[in-house]
Amino acid sequence: MVVSLAGYSAMDVISILQKKRQEVTDFRVEVDADRADEHPRVLTEAVIEYHVTGKEVDEKAVLRAIELSATHYCPAQAIMAKGFPMDLKYFIYEEGGELVISRVYEPSDQ
């Protein structure tokens, strides 16, 4: 389930960034999820991290891509968000590896 969450969301975000003509040279999504101690060991919370590397990637474009994935396009996230809390974080790196921005996505960031 966690892999589907990462996959669906990743496809949404990178597709939107490409449509916004962002020059992304590397992109990855990582998900860390906790599960209940007792069976059926359901997911209890998750953190999704978006790592975007490119040439002068616009933070507003990344925020909008994450927002659209979270609120409109990602079926896995829509379903799972009803069952447990999710934190969304994003990291923007300049090509060459320098971290430019590291933030937690908040709906009020729009």
Which alpha helices (DSSP H) does the chain contain, by range? Answer: 2-19, 59-68, 75-81
Number of domains composing the chain:
1
- Which domain, by its residues, includes 71? 2-109
pLDDT number for residue 108: 59
pTM of structure = 0.90
The pLDDT tens digits along the chain (110 residues) read: 889 999 999 999 999 999 999 999 999 999 999 999 999 999 999 999 999 999 999 999 999 999 999 999 988 888 898 899 999 999 999 999 999 999 999 875 44
Residues 6+ apart with CB under 8 A from 31: 2, 3, 5, 6, 46, 47, 48, 49
pLDDT number for residue 78: 87
> Which CATH number goes with the domain that contains 68?
3.30.300.20
pLDDT number for residue 59: 97
Buried b (16+ CB within 10 A) or exposed e, 13-30: bbebbeeeebebeebebe
